[in-house]
Each structure stands twice: as C-alpha cells, then as structure tokens.
Amino acid sequence: MPGLAIKDGLIRHPFDLEFGVRTSGLVAGRNLAPGLRNGRYMTAYYAVAPSVFQGILARWRSCHAVAPLDAYTFIDLGAGMGRAMLLAANYPFRKVIGVELHPTLARIGRKNLALWRAAGRALAPTRMYCRDAATLSLPSGPCVAFLFNPFTAPVLRRLLRAWSQTLSEQRHGQLDILYVNNEREQVLKCQPGFERLFAGRIRRSHEDAEADRNILTHQPDGEYLAMNWEDCSIYRWTGKRITD
C-alpha cells in the first residue's frame, strides 16, 4: 500500500523501534478508499503520537469519570494498525476494542496486539474488528470512544445519531468521546445530548514532535502539516437537550 514502503517516505516512529511493533506510515485516504463502503469518507492512516494519546487520556481522567477505569470499554473508531489500542491496553480498562475498515491495517493491528499481549504489556483484553465504524453498536456499560480524525462528517454524523438513539433509550448509558485533531468538531457540537468538557491543544513531547516532523517532511506529496500539538476536545453524553 502506498505510504507503507520506504520508497514512499516511510520512517519508523521511535514507538515502533522501542516496542518492536509496526504502526508507522502515512497513507492518504485516496489510497485506502478503493473498494470500501464509506471509503470516500476516510481521511488518512497515521498513528497518534503517544504523548498526545497520554495527554488526552490524562485530561479525560481529570474530568470526573462516572465510573472506575476498569468499568469502561475503550473504543478506537478507525483503529488503523492499533497504536492507540496498544497505548490504551496499558491501562486496566474493562476491554479495549478497535474498529478498522481497511483489512490490511486491521490485520497488522491484530499482529501488534498479539505481540503486546505476548510481551505482557496488555492490562486489558483487546479485540480488533474489521468493519465500518458507522455500523458499530454501542457496547453496554460505560464507554470511552477515541477518534484520531478518522473520517469526515457523514460517517461521524451517522454514528453519533445511532449512538444517541441507543443512549436515550438506556437509563444509565455512559459515553465520553475523546477527539484528537478535531476537524469535524462542528458535527459533535450540533449533536443534541452531548456536552463539551474540554477543548484545547495537547502538545506532542519533544521526541514525538521530532519524529512526526521527520516523517511528514519525507511524505511524497507534502500534503500533511507537522505541528507540535493537536487540537483536541472531550465530550460527554448527558442526554440533556433530549430529555429536558
């Protein structure tokens, strides 16, 4: 796949070198999309900077979660090769699930998760599904969904509408959404029942900033910008604008 070969500018991120996994690469949406339903709404494959992941998780944990961490299911919507799932599995979540539309990325992600488990790093059970996130039913119990700008507005809107319907039918449904590189923030803002708990920049560590700059400088078409931070937001389902 273009974007996953050295000739296409692939440089391994220090995360992969340290842990012996394969999550590096930058694949434009147009190279992922062919033949996939909802493929035209894909943005790109690129793995989240570990420091940004840890930053948004720490923010979320300071937002007075409604249940202990081990009651939550962590869901990565657009899980790619699973870097965010690996990082999430370092925490004792009830389970960590990922949904990835592209079969090659999902297959690599499963291998990475197996390596993580074999190395004794996974504190939570993990499962990678190869399917369209737009059709994923919300798991029961408290959930925290993670999005690293995986798809454009039509898919996000469809998913949020379906999950809002489910949550408004449940009495005790709990859902928080962690949105990194929140380009389609407006969709969440307009979705009744969600309240924004945080909006701001989360900085990359020096090591991640340097690695991402290096990777993005070598991209063949120069279409993605390297920055020292990600614009992020955190939302919580309160159901208020529906039930009040």
Ligand X SMILES: C[S@@+](CC[C@H](N)C(=O)[O-])C[C@H]1O[C@@H](n2cnc3c(N)ncnc32)[C@H](O)[C@@H]1O
In what helix (H) or strand (E) does residue 87 lie, and over which residues does it extend? helix 83-88
109 contributes a contact to ligand X by CB under 6 A: no
Which one-letter DSSP state was computed for residue 170? S
In what helix (H) or strand (E) does residue 185 lie, and over which residues does it extend? helix 185-190
Choices 7-15, 65-73, 77-85, 193-201; region in contact with ligand X by CB under 6 A:
77-85
Which one-letter DSSP state was computed for residue 33? -
Binders of ligand X among residues 38 to 57 (CB under 6 A) are 38, 42-48
Q: Tokens 């570990």, residue?
A: 50
97 contributes a contact to ligand X by CB under 6 A: no
Q: Are 185 and 78 in contact (CB under 8 A)?
A: no
Between 149 and 164, name the residue whose CB sits nearer to ligand X. 149
CB of 83 to ligand X, least distance (A): 4
Q: Which residues contact 128 (CB under 8 A, 6 or more apart)?
A: 79, 82, 85, 97, 98, 99, 100, 106, 109, 110, 113
230 contributes a contact to ligand X by CB under 6 A: no
CB of 235 to ligand X, least distance (A): 17
166 contributes a contact to ligand X by CB under 6 A: no
Could you say which of 124, 134, 177, 234 contacts ligand X (CB under 6 A)? 134
Could you say which of 76, 208, 212, 230 contacts ligand X (CB under 6 A)? 76
CB of 33 to ligand X, least distance (A): 9
CB of 239 to ligand X, least distance (A): 25
CB of 194 to ligand X, least distance (A): 20
3 state SS for 118-167 = HCCCCCCCEEEEECCHHHCCCCCCCEEEEEECCECHHHHHHHHHHHHHHH
Give CA–CA dist 137/164, Å, rounded. Answer: 11
Which one-letter DSSP state was computed for residue 70? G
Give CA–CA dist 24/11, Å, rounded. Answer: 7
Could you say which of 3, 9, 142, 150 contacts ligand X (CB under 6 A)? 150
148 contributes a contact to ligand X by CB under 6 A: yes
Choices 97-105, 120-128, 191-199, 224-232; region in contact with ligand X by CB under 6 A:
97-105
208 contributes a contact to ligand X by CB under 6 A: no
CA angle 221, 51, 27 (to 5 degrees): 25
Between 99 and 216, name the residue whose CB sits nearer to ligand X. 99
Residues that bind ligand X (CB under 6 A): 32, 38, 42-48, 76, 78-80, 83-84, 99-102, 105, 132-134, 148-151, 155
